[in-house]
Chain A
């Protein structure tokens, strides 16, 4: 049971005050279809930035343009994934102010559910919860120019041609950029003061979320893999530094598509010395990591999901009561899980 190996950096129960317990997940995110990450509307180029290629030698002086998967682009779909299951198992609560079901970004966080306790909320008046899941902008290994494709979109008329009945040519001709399949992003996710079940919940959200970015039925497929888990009393290097260190290890001229296994080996080499950093107490071995993932998959399995999610939700019970008493809410919407919204 490798989750026990992390016990020194796991909380036994949710507590309202921080203690120095950090769990760092090193995540490899690989696109499996065309994907779109933009900060502005359609027609804008992909989200990218000029950064140092690596941390050593010539790489340190070379500036390349890398794709960026912003922290907000990661966290939103991962939260939504978990919330879908909270909703299905009736573990979202109603908001005491307007009686509506807990909802992301709509002014009605319930302040009671697993998602509210873990990822936080800000609400006018009622209170606020800081997130204990800290994400970072993730970067592509390869330069944007190697991994971005261009597509010309022809708007075709109903008759199936580029000309309408009066033979006017379609003007809706457009090129748009997309990120190619097989592009790797490396990422560091930090969990602060989480319990074993909260860890299972968050890791499940990361492993099972499969679509990111501008979403339609054909784009945005992405596969997440956890390459390393650390326990510490401090934060570990950033996603950008991880990408740069991995780039240094990879050496030689690189080409898209990168071989995934080579990349994984290189990034594992890059994080190997994080073990010796000040404040790091746990680094899961490969076997322990496999065990941890199996443990998470078991808890999320069809057979165990319901009892797992209910147990996790139940763990906040005493903290919910405190909140309810303090606010002296009317008995009306208090603590009542409600029906699934259609």
Chain B
């Protein structure tokens, strides 16, 4: 029943030339990056999906993964990238600063309107002292410079030598390690070593056991034991027919 849409897969290594930050989790004022790089982020970073410089209206509140990724799903697929060694993190403090000569830290916000200060002291709430709806101070847990990740790329797209990842557009080097053919294995019970995106699993796949890394926009699965057809690329075994938004409901 299964055909292989991709003949070849490239094994690539991602080398972090700078610390990489994704807001995977938040604990009070600390923002945690998990030790994994999601495949949607990688697809955008590789330039395979065009995303506008300015986000407006609906696009600001709701990402458009399905609309963006499904059109290329027949030509390209990439797995989430998993760390090669034990992953190293670093913590950094961040502080928003104003370009005004006078400023003050108020409700998680840098206020610059000095004339509002007397009002604020009287318990009134001038607009410029209202709380900010995005963080202006806190701590970041980032993937440390020098970490290496690996993943598989399906399809024939040319890959750039460098990409930018995460909120701070951190520079990451892309090294192609080798290229192998994709082989179809018959229906059976398999164990997959690779990180997988939960929403990209084919609908008919029977999952027996797995570990879950809960990150936005889609949870990552590891150590998956499954029953179904499989693809084999060298030593790697993954469920067959993986493709973007395979489970259908991905936009949350």
Contact = CB atoms under 8 A, between A and B. Distances in A.
A207 interface: no
A270 to B, nearest CB: 16
B60 interface: yes
A105 B136 contact: yes
Interface residues of B, number: 43
Contact of B55 (A72, A103, A128): A128
A15 to B, nearest CB: 8
A79 B56 CA distance: 23
B54 interface: yes
A319 B18 CA distance: 33
A299 B157 CA distance: 41
B120 to A, nearest CB: 15
Given A125-B60, A129-B53, A136-B171, A105 B18 contact: no
A131 interface: yes
A238 B112 contact: no
The A interface is mostly helix, strand or loop, or mixed, namely loop
Interface string B129-173: 000111010000000011000000000000011111000110101
Most chain A Cβ neighbours within 10 Å, of B18, B93, B168, B171? B171
Interface residues on A, range: 35 or more
A241 interface: yes
Interface string B160-188: 11111000110101000000000000000
Interface in B57-115: 57, 60, 92-94, 96-100, 103, 109-113
The B interface is mostly helix, strand or loop, or mixed, namely loop
A7 to B, nearest CB: 21
A16 interface: yes
Nearest to A68: B145
A124 interface: yes
B47 interface: yes
B98 A103 contact: yes
B160 to A, nearest CB: 5
Contacts of A237: 162
Contact of A107 (B99, B132, B162): B132
Contacts of B54: 16, 127-130, 319, 323
B28 interface: no
Interface in A93-140: 98-100, 103-107, 120, 122-132, 134, 136-137
A185 to B, nearest CB: 15
Given A49-B145, A107-B133, A234-B160, A127 B97 contact: no
Interface in B175-221: none
Interface of B: 17-18, 47, 50-57, 60, 92-94, 96-100, 103, 109-113, 127-128, 132-134, 136, 145-146, 160-164, 168-169, 171, 173
5 contacts: A39-B92, A79-B99, A237-B162, A238-B171, A327-B57
Given A105-B136, A106-B110, A128-B60, 18 more contacts: A49-B145, A71-B168, A72-B94, A80-B99, A100-B128, A103-B99, A103-B100, A105-B98, A106-B111, A107-B110, A127-B54, A129-B54, A129-B55, A136-B18, A136-B171, A234-B162, A279-B160, A327-B57
